[in-house]
Amino acid sequence: MATGYAYHEVFGWHDTSSATGLLPSDPAAGLQPYSHFEHPDTKRRMHELVVVSGLIDHLVRVPTREATDEEILRVHSPEHLERIRTQSELPKGGDAGDGISPFGRGGLSIARRAAGAVIECVDAVLAGTVADAYALVRPPGHHAVADSGMGFCIFNNVAIAVEHARTVRGVERIAVVDWDVHHGNGTQSMFYADPDVLTVSIHQDNVFPPRSGAVDERGEGAGRGCAINIPLPPGTGDGGYLHAFDEVIVPAVRAFRPDLVVVSSGFDAGGMDPLARQMVTSEGFAAFTRRVLDVAAECCAGRVVMAHEGGYNPVFVPFCGLAVLQEMTGVHVLDDPFHALLSGMTGHDLKPAEADVVAEVVASVARDAPRPPVLST
Ligand code: 3YP
Ligand code: ZN
């Protein structure tokens, strides 16, 4: 069965405006106007590579739509939606809440469509139209909390799709695997006390948000054990990441036995990203994909929906994304021309400091395991 793919040109029209990376430009402070880090090109170039490489012919296009108020309000407060609505109507748009997450006039409808694209991918997978699906969306979502946008995110696309799967489609248990290099704090916070949603975030230790995503953040109340964080040291490459997948992520998902797996797929752990310091290669991202698909095949007939998050190198991210989509489709159209350069650098093998973090997480999970499903008699 085929892999679904959702993208809409309007995602390139989400306007993060002129900026100096993430600061407002300010000539007096030496901040020459440039683009925001989360500009359209990186994701647009990934989409264009999917088309130009011919991989698009092996994907089933999933049409997008805008998420409704009702869908957004399952995870966000009315105040947050109202603030985005108000600012979206301003002549020059506004900010999602933290001052580094700008959007242009009319940005509400684009943010709605990002969430709606992930919802539609969930529906396509649940309906069995496609085996699995990838939503290449802007703006991203995983930092957005109930009451605010954050870290370039307006609405939490993944959380909205998870709640749709549960409340509308009756899916009982969902595992969210977040391999964006930053902590998936928003998604974690929304399901922190929920025993039916496992959130696993693998990220660079203490990058963004600051002091978020430590090993001891393990969920609370009935959700104790159902949040897992793997904060890897800077310089971690494919070896360290795959060690974490094999020792923590795959066993935790297998033990949880989800009915659906949703991935927050960022490519900012890539070895050439400006917003983190990791060494992952396109082959690494393909290997993450293989592991997620394999454990989903064991648990839930391979039902996997991936939602794009961060990743900020416009020339490298497209090849990381293509590698993931090639792994999903089983069709190889192109090698990553950057692979020799990146793999020629050091940092790819598992290092002791990385193994120590993974061992710490393994010990924590042994103490507080995710709740396995209650078997109905
Ligand atoms: C937000 C401010 C500094 C780092 C940036 C992270 C955005 C992102 O890619 N989150 O996944
Ligand atoms: Zn990120």
pLDDT in tens, 277-302: 999 999 999 999 999 999 999 999 99
Integer Cα distance of 93 and 90 in angstroms = 5
- pTM (2 d.p.): 0.98
In short, whether 163's Cβ falls inside 6 Å of ligand 1 is no
Ligand 1 centroid to residue 178 C-alpha, Å:
14
Of 143, 182, 183, 203, the catalytic one is 143
Question: What pLDDT, on a 0 to 100 scale, did the predictor assign at position 377?
Answer: 58
pLDDT in tens, 16-72: 999 999 999 999 999 999 999 999 999 999 999 999 999 999 999 999 999 999 999
Question: Could you tell which of 22, 150, 152 is best to mutate to test the pocket of ligand 1, judged by most ligand atoms within 8 Å of the CB?
Answer: 152
Atom of ligand 1 nearest to the CA of 180: 11
Integer Cα distance of 135 and 50 in angstroms = 13
Determine the average pLDDT of the residues in 244-270: 98
Peptide bond between residue 210 and the one before it cis (omega within 30 degrees of 0): no
Question: What pLDDT, on a 0 to 100 scale, did the predictor assign at position 239?
Answer: 98
Determine the average pLDDT of the residues in 121-140: 99
